[in-house]
Amino acid sequence: MKDLMGKAVRDYFHNENPEDLQTETSISELDELPVDYLFRDFEDMNDIEQKALELAQGKVLDIGAGAGSHALYLQNERNLDILALDISPKSIEVCQLRGVQKTICTNILDFSGDAFDTVLLLMNGTGIFESLTKIDAYLKKLYSLLNENGQILIDSTDILYMFDRDEDGGVLIPAGGYYGELDYIVHYKGESEDPIKWLYLDFDTLKNAAENNGFAIEKVLQDEDSYLAKLMKK
């Protein structure tokens, strides 16, 4: 892994000629991702992020912590005990330099530790599930990391709106898999990361998977095609 996202985060933090990231998926063209967006304050976060951070409580695990903006808010403004986790070494380095007290660089499937009261997966948190065939493995792992009365706060977007429609209003979805299973590619300073599998889930599909893995689930907030869900052990 070239860790281009982490490289951009590190360049921005150290003011070493940072450039905007570019991202694309198997169904969308290149899109700019300003790197300063990853350093935004609570006031600049969207409604879903703000709601999740308001609902967080107890001992928190922030999966996909990035530059640490969510973790810093919970640590410094809410005084919560939080562990920031990311697979990007450079991002975790910046988390530490920004003052996040507890960090770990690993894949969530390889992580083992204490149980948590809140597990956060934000900025399309379902993305890490990769594909429908791997959801169960990830949900079982998350279940094992949750205290009995704990909660998972996770967001996603139903991307059905991105597909063309026929004259009768039917959605033209390519055959061969779930429409939310995408290849996601990051570009930075002329380099390209190898494509990764990234999963966008509609709420009903997440609900079915969660209930099949021992969770009760509720939709906390809907914002256009995106939503925030809360999962708890049944």
| Alpha helices (H) in 114-166, listed in sequence order | 135-144
Architecture of domain 4-158+171-233: 3-Layer(aba) Sandwich (3.40)
- Whether the pLDDT of residue 171 is over 70: the answer is no
pTM: 0.94
What one-character DSSP code corresponds to residue 161? G
**Span 62-109, pLDDT tens digits:** 999 999 999 999 999 999 999 999 999 999 999 999 999 999 999 999
Greater confidence, 170 or 144? Answer: 144
Q: Where are the domains of the chain?
A: 4-158+171-233
- How many CB atoms lie under 10 A from the CB of residue 186? 21
What one-character DSSP code corresponds to residue 27? T
**Span 130-163, pLDDT tens digits:** 999 999 999 999 999 999 999 999 999 999 888 7
**Amino acid identity at 1:** M
Q: How far apart are CA 132 and CA 206, in angstroms?
A: 10
**Residue 1 near residue 195 (C-beta atoms within 8 A):** no
Query: Listing from the earlier edge strand, what are the strands of the sheet with 103-105?
Result: 103-105, 81-86, 59-63, 116-121, 146-157, 226-233, 215-223
**Span 175-219, pLDDT tens digits:** 667 999 999 999 999 999 999 999 999 999 999 999 999 999 999
Any bridge partners for residue 187, and if so which?
22, 192
How far CA 106 is from CA of 92, 124, 158, in Å, comes to 10, 19, 28
Supply the mean pLDDT for the chain.
95
- Whether the pLDDT of residue 37 is over 90: the answer is yes
Quick one: average pLDDT of 6-19? 98
- Tokens 């609900």, located at residue: 207
Four-CA torsion 82, 48, 110, 80, nearest 10 degrees: 10
Q: Are strands 191-192 and 146-157 parallel, antiparallel or unpaired?
A: unpaired
